[in-house]
Amino acid sequence: MCSQYQSGPLPAGQTGPLPVVRAIKAPLLPRRMETHALPTPYVEDHGHYSTFVLAREELSGQVASHVHIEQVLLKRVKLNESQFDLARLEDCRLEACEMASACWPQVNMDRVEFRSCLLTGLQANESRFQDVVFQGCTLNLAQFRFSKFRSVRFEECDLSDVDFQASDLAGAVFERCRLNHVQFSGTRLKGVNLAGCEIEGVHIGPTELQGLVIDPVQAVALIQALGVVIEWPYAQPQTDELS
């Protein structure tokens, strides 16, 4: 069920001014919060969880919908293979949490930080991310099709084989990330700077290249990805001028 997604219209064209890159808002977390477990053994449908620290909890495989998590600090929480439909996270920080193969379709995130989290195979298609930071995270094989990213930054993350097809990444920041074999088909990339990132085997077309910022080495790789063969001309032998 979770592996399916509804197709939608491709993002708007690549015309117009570059997006304005603004400072990313940090989560609004209280200075002092108590650490305690969830009030029930299972995450409940339409459950609202707020203003506490959740540490070292095992929540893998749990299923719920319309969960609202607000002002919560999650430390080493395991959410592997969980399925939370239409979840909402506001002002949260996740530290060393595990969400491998989790299915969170149409999730909404505002002012959320992921630090050193395992997100391999996360499915978050048709989602919205506003003021979100991924720092030192493993996101390989994750799916973000038809999603919108606003004021989002990826720092030193492994995004190998991630699927961003038909998403809006305009203005997103990627710093020293691994983007090998990423799917960017139909993705809006205007103002995105990939300089310094690994992009071997990236899937991208001429339209997506408009407004994308890359370094010279990446330019060669992207040209080759488009099927263009680069052939360096042989140096011409020098001849002495006739006197």
Q: Report pTM.
A: 0.85
Looking at residue 122, what is its pLDDT?
A: 98
Task: Kindly report the number of other CB atoms within 10 A of residue 13's CB atom.
Answer: 10
Give 33-46 pLDDT, tens digit per residue. 999 999 998 999 99
Q: What is the mean pLDDT of residues 114-121?
A: 98
pLDDT tens per residue across span 2-19? 755 444 443 344 344 444
- Whether residue 212 is predicted with pLDDT greater than 60 in this model: the reply is yes
For the segment 127-144, what is each residue's pLDDT rounded down to a tens digit?
999 999 999 999 999 999
> What 3 state SS string does the chain have?
CCCCCCCCCCCCCCCCCCCCCCCCCCCCCCCCCCECCCCCCCCCCCCEEEEEEEECCECCCCEEECCEEEEEEEECCECCCCEEECCEEEEEEEECCECCCCECCCCEEEEEEEECCECCCCECCCCEEEEEEEECCECCCCECCCCEEEEEEEECCECCCCECCCCECCCCEEECCECCCCECCCCECCCCECCCCECCCCECCCCCCCCCECCHHHHHHHHHHCCCCCCCCCCCCCCCCCC
Tens digit of pLDDT for each residue in 77-114? Answer: 999 999 999 999 999 999 999 999 999 999 999 999 99
Q: Write down the architecture of domain 48-225 according to CATH.
A: 3 Solenoid (2.160)
Sort 63 into a burial class: Cβ within 10 Å, 0-12 / 13-18 / 19+: middle
